[in-house]
Chain A
Amino acid sequence: MTFALETAANPVGLRRVAIDPVSRVEGHGKVTLLLDEHNNVQQARLHIVEFRGFEKFIEGRPYWEVPVMVQRLCGICPVSHHLAAAKAFDRVVGAVPVSASATAVRRLMHYGQILQSHALHFFHLSSPDLLFGFDSDVARRNIVGIAQAHPDIAKKGILLRKFGQEIIRITSGKRVHGTGAVPGGVNKLVTAEERDILLRDVPQMLQWAQDAVTLVKQLHANQLALYHNFASFHSNWMSLVRLDGALDLYDGVLRARDAMGNIVLDGLQDQRYLDVIEEEVRPWSYMKFPYLRSLGPKLGWYRVGPLARVQNCDFIPSERAEVERQIFVAWGKGELVHSSLAYHWARMIEMLHCVEVVGNILADPVLLSGDLLTTGVRQRSGVGVIEAPRGTLIHDYDVGDDDLVTRCNLIVSTTHNNQAMNEAVRCVARDYLNGHDITEGLLNHIEVAIRAYDPCLSCATHALGKMPLEVSLVAADGTLLDHRQTASHAAYEIDGDLCL
């Protein structure tokens, strides 16, 4: 299956431009562009160049190790993997549901980490582009430049992130790669002293999170055309929602809408995700391309993450964030918002929601006392689905009677957005690069489009052994010298195009 600008009709003689690496994202990726003699883009691809193999080397490990191991997938969102794995193995140990106290600790951990991840992404990674301009001086287009030009904004961002990291430390033992969640529950609750440390800062964090939403709204208002049209394209949208349709980042059922907002999937239990999602592989990237099976690979790809969640849900169950969601929806004037830059607005609404939820959980006495663990009838498999900062995260395991993992399948948030990020790159290539001399500033436009999705490229390249590889050796004049291709188990059609 190929899409417009995915593969050049005749790559011979085209000029290759590469953005390598893509900066201010987590992990390693590159963008390649093939341009003709008029500087028109004939091919644009986002390549994920990391090769990790977690699905393979988790096999044969004791299941109780996995919630700790999978955190090494990522340094920004390890908690998401930690909790998704724990939720999956809750099923294996028969702990459905876990105790109210364990749920409270896990939810606090999860909303704390989304808060810190969203703060990191907006303030550290994306604000330099949004505040200075996409083609501003590259030397200051980073968090240090923000600290110099906008110290108040930088400080709020750093302290918001620090607050989220402190929540993670208290609930899981460490700011990065903690061990709080275990199959069946958690290994510690929160003390009253720890709760009070966090509660003390909630009012200030609420104000700063609200300020961040206000800032993004101002950015949109000041450049309406840019924020409406930049990397804007139609797609389906997928996320978890609570049974009553509310936004829920920790648990729920799967829902998908089409580009017009019609619900095409709803109420699907997370254990049955394979009924509806299929993954395609292509030889030029280590990241797979998921799609809704009912719609097929050409029409079934979708976006996940903040923009999907805020538009998929019926309401946000916290007061201030719900007000902001309604303002956001009104901006769309009755239609879904498709611009990639709108991810930033939705992300800040979610960050505000996270602070509100954190405040509510901290006020719940079950956080301080109750059962740590629950057990039940042992099962041989389990699926854990959670809304990570970047979108829907799926962990799926089989476990043998010897407690060793026999199968692991991970579909991570950034993978769901693979086609969307490629579409974003192609939109920008068409709208901004076609016919122009290539400058660093113009290439940063492409990076801005990718960054809007807050990709975690390290997470997205976890599979081993399913990648068909195609290697072409091409002379300087474009003559094909040699061509090799490996087999794959995936549904990929080779149509004779050269893959460079």
Chain B
Amino acid sequence: MTAPILILGWGNPSRGDDALGPLCVAALADLLPKEWQTKIEFLEDYQLQVEHALDMVGRQQVLFIDASLTATAPFEVTPLQAAPETCVTTHAMSPQALMQVYHHLNGHTPPPCTLLAIRGETFELGQPLGVNAQAHLEAALQCAWQLLKSWFHV
């Protein structure tokens, strides 16, 4: 049975604040009450790839989580619309492009998708999460938790 909610975070845990996506996913998974465990699937990866379009099938809500250089600190929450990819490569896709691929493959619009973009500042290889990023992560975690409660009408 496919869980109705998918939480998909991406980033490289070895590259400083790029770890924000995977860290937030892991922290949310730890917070999850037992009775919700069959209702949410957590996924993390280094990059968004075309295969993830099929991970969205059968969901009622999808929450994307990623670090962002441009988001207003500590985070931004944005409802997403499908849009064609404008990047020159397809091995690291945007959530909007993924939604577009979903539409091409399945012939209908994807489930409602939301992006939680957590402000990151340093992305150097081998660096730990920055001090500011840790604070942003805490704030984003609270926001994500409220989002989940709203989806479960709690």
Chain A residues whose C-beta falls within 8 Å of the C-beta of B104 in the assembled complex: 144, 147-148, 151, 154
* CB of B23 within 8 Å of the partner chain: no
* A residues at B contact (CB < 8 Å): 23, 124, 142-144, 147-148, 151, 154-155, 158-159, 161-162, 165, 176
Q: A144-B84, A151-B105 are in contact. Are A162 and B90 (CB under 8 A)?
A: no
Chain A residues whose C-beta falls within 8 Å of the C-beta of B51 in the assembled complex: 158, 161-162, 165
Asked whether, in the complex, the Cβ of B105 is within 8 Å of the Cβ of A162, the reply is no
- State the CA gap A162–B53 with chains docked (Å): 12
Asked whether, in the complex, the Cβ of B46 is within 8 Å of the Cβ of A147, the reply is no
Q: How far is the CB of A304 from chain B (nearest CB, A)?
A: 25
Chain A residues whose C-beta falls within 8 Å of the C-beta of B105 in the assembled complex: 147, 151, 154-155, 158
Q: How far is the CB of B92 from chain A (nearest CB, A)?
A: 11
- State the CA gap A159–B88 with chains docked (Å): 24
Asked whether, in the complex, the Cβ of B50 is within 8 Å of the Cβ of A176, the reply is no
- State the CA gap A124–B101 with chains docked (Å): 13
- State the CA gap A154–B50 with chains docked (Å): 10
- State the CA gap A154–B101 with chains docked (Å): 10
On chain B, the number of residues with a Cβ less than 8 Å from chain A's Cβ atoms is: 17
Asked whether, in the complex, the Cβ of A158 is within 8 Å of the Cβ of B107, the reply is no
Chain B residues whose C-beta falls within 8 Å of the C-beta of A151 in the assembled complex: 104-107
Residue of B nearest to A124 (CB): B50
* CB of B67 within 8 Å of the partner chain: no
Q: A144-B85, A144-B97, A147-B104 are in contact. Are A158 and B46 (CB under 8 A)?
A: no
Asked whether, in the complex, the Cβ of A144 is within 8 Å of the Cβ of B46, the reply is no
Q: How far is the CB of B91 from chain A (nearest CB, A)?
A: 9
- State the CA gap A165–B101 with chains docked (Å): 20
* CB of B68 within 8 Å of the partner chain: no
Q: How far is the CB of B136 from chain A (nearest CB, A)?
A: 27
Q: A144-B97, A144-B101, A147-B101 are in contact. Are A155 and B54 (CB under 8 A)?
A: yes
Residue of A nearest to B93 (CB): A144
Chain A residues whose C-beta falls within 8 Å of the C-beta of B114 in the assembled complex: none
Residue of A nearest to B46 (CB): A176
Asked whether, in the complex, the Cβ of A162 is within 8 Å of the Cβ of B97, the reply is no
Would you list the 6 A-B pairs with minimal beta carbon distance, nearest first?
A: A147-B104, A148-B104, A147-B101, A151-B105, A142-B90, A158-B51
Residue of A nearest to B52 (CB): A158
Asked whether, in the complex, the Cβ of B54 is within 8 Å of the Cβ of A143, the reply is no
Asked whether, in the complex, the Cβ of B50 is within 8 Å of the Cβ of A143, the reply is yes
Chain A residues whose C-beta falls within 8 Å of the C-beta of B50 in the assembled complex: 124, 143-144, 147, 154, 158
Chain A residues whose C-beta falls within 8 Å of the C-beta of B89 in the assembled complex: 23
Q: A144-B101, A158-B51 are in contact. List 19 more A-B contacts (CB 8 A).
A: A142-B90, A143-B50, A143-B90, A144-B50, A144-B84, A144-B85, A144-B104, A147-B50, A147-B101, A148-B104, A151-B105, A151-B107, A154-B105, A155-B105, A158-B53, A158-B105, A161-B51, A162-B54, A165-B51
Chain A residues whose C-beta falls within 8 Å of the C-beta of B107 in the assembled complex: 151
Chain B residues whose C-beta falls within 8 Å of the C-beta of A155 in the assembled complex: 54, 105
Chain A residues whose C-beta falls within 8 Å of the C-beta of B101 in the assembled complex: 144, 147
- State the CA gap A162–B101 with chains docked (Å): 16
Task: List B residues 48-66 near A (Cβ within 8 Å).
Answer: 50-51, 53-54
Chain A residues whose C-beta falls within 8 Å of the C-beta of B97 in the assembled complex: 144
Q: A155-B105, A176-B46 are in contact. Are A144 and B54 (CB under 8 A)?
A: no
Residue of A nearest to B98 (CB): A144
Asked whether, in the complex, the Cβ of A158 is within 8 Å of the Cβ of B54, the reply is yes
Q: How far is the CB of A178 from chain B (nearest CB, A)?
A: 14
The contact sample of 22 A-B pairs, CB cut-off 8 A, is: A124-B50, A124-B90, A142-B90, A143-B50, A143-B90, A144-B50, A144-B90, A144-B97, A147-B50, A147-B53, A147-B104, A148-B104, A151-B104, A151-B106, A154-B104, A155-B54, A155-B105, A158-B50, A158-B51, A158-B53, A158-B105, A176-B46
Asked whether, in the complex, the Cβ of B54 is within 8 Å of the Cβ of A159, the reply is yes
- State the CA gap A158–B101 with chains docked (Å): 12
Chain B residues whose C-beta falls within 8 Å of the C-beta of A23 in the assembled complex: 88-89
- State the CA gap A147–B46 with chains docked (Å): 22
- State the CA gap A148–B103 with chains docked (Å): 8
Residue of A nearest to B102 (CB): A147
- State the CA gap A154–B46 with chains docked (Å): 22
Residue of A nearest to B88 (CB): A23
